[in-house]
Amino acid sequence: MIDIEKVLLVGASGMGMVPLALYLKGVGLSVEAYDDNFKEPIRTILKNRGITVLTESVPLNKPDCVIRSSAVNEKSEILKPWLKTKVPIYRRGDFLAKATSGKKVIAVVGSHGKTTTSAMLVWALKKKNFSFSYLIGGMFLENSILPGEYNESEWVILEVDESDGTIDSFSPEITLALNCDWDHVDLYKSKDSMNDVFKSLFERTKDTIVIPKGSNLEKQTSAESGKTIHTFPVKKKLKNYFKNNFSAVCAVGRSLGIEFDSHCLDDFPGLARRENILFHTNNRIIVEDYAHHPTEINAFLSRRRNLFPEHAMQVVFQPHRYSRTHALAKEFADELSIADDLYLLPTYAAFERFNSNGTVECIMAHLPPRLRKRAKVYSDFKVLCDSLLPH
């Protein structure tokens, strides 16, 4: 653990930062958290755990270091005062790697399914009374357990994110790699560059690598002599992703000497924005999901179509990041074609600058004629809702 007592978290309402705040408070640090868009229940969760939630970026006490989320640019005005005082400023992932360097890290990586699989693993291990700390990038439904927790244990479960390059800072004890699709195209210019990042992580893994059987990841682990390689079976159809995630959880359990039975996740509550049912009657179901990559859209929509083949599927979609939309516009259109009706919202920029080549209209150009004629782009979510209300 880094030798500090007081930290300031900037961009602290994101789902990478919230579990970190909870973890650091559990360690015993004084934690102050700032964001210009704190919402419930996150604000209350942090306050109830003794974390100071700030309404402006000036902390009550001078911190020993500042930790910024990936949404806060290193040149942000918020950070300039700390640059002048030479207070260390860390990216979230880099800090987390340093903070857990003395622990046995179970790293969950992959282009898709990290959050859900990590949450399933946490839920299953808690039922076995296994002692560990964890940081999960999602909220458990009904706040059944918190997304981050510190315990006096040598083990810690982390989602290790490849999106900002900080994956290179980690050297896990156990690495669970779920898949590797080309994504985060602003950082990785080809699938080969992403494969190289995963290969390097496998090289740095100290003991055990867990990968899907028959996947391209198997080839990358073939040269890892002296390490234990566990594989788990996967069903090829993407709609079976929940079963595949559970297979991965069981494989990690076996690497820890723990066997999970088929009912250990019967009461798993699920996560916010992961196939979250918002409304359900006999003839209408409204479901929310964070699917933001063509592979994830295929998995989500295929599963819903399989569960309710008689239902008309009306899809509202907002692309995430201009760079991803530009690179994968045709693939997005192909997968969204599963829908019967399509309602589109402008590309969410995240921290990217506007790029006309990555607007949602670029996806429309690749839609099949039946959808292209009826699909419409709405300026924002309220305008879309108003248009759907009966007049």
How do the domains of the chain map onto residue ranges?
6-95, 100-255, 276-388
Pick one of 3.40.50.720, 2.60.40.1180, 3.30.950.10, 3.30.70.940 as the CATH number of 6-95: 3.40.50.720
Cα–Cα distance for residue pair 331/16, rounded to 1 Å: 27
Cis amide bond preceding 269, omega within 30: no
Q: What is the DSSP string of 190-226?
A: SHHHHHHHHHHHHHH--SEEEEETTSHHHHHHTT-TT
Q: What residue type is assigned to position 357 of the chain? A: N
Q: Is the pTM of this model over 0.85?
A: yes
Dihedral-angle region of residue 58 (phi above 0 means left; psi in -120 to 50 means alpha; beta otherwise): beta
What kind of fold does domain 276-388 have according to CATH? Protein-Tyrosine Phosphatase; Chain A (3.90.190)
* Predicted pLDDT at 21: 97
CB 233, CB 248: distance < 8 Å: no
What phi and psi values does residue 86 have, to the nearest 5 degrees? 65, 25
What kind of fold does domain 100-255 have according to CATH? UDP-N-acetylmuramoyl-L-alanine:D-glutamate ligase (3.40.1190)
Q: Are domains 100-255 and 276-388 of this chain identical in fold?
A: no
pLDDT digits (tens, 9 = 90+) for 237-295: 766 778 999 999 999 999 999 999 989 999 999 888 888 889 999 889 999 999 999 99
Asked whether the predicted pLDDT for residue 214 surpasses 60, the reply is yes
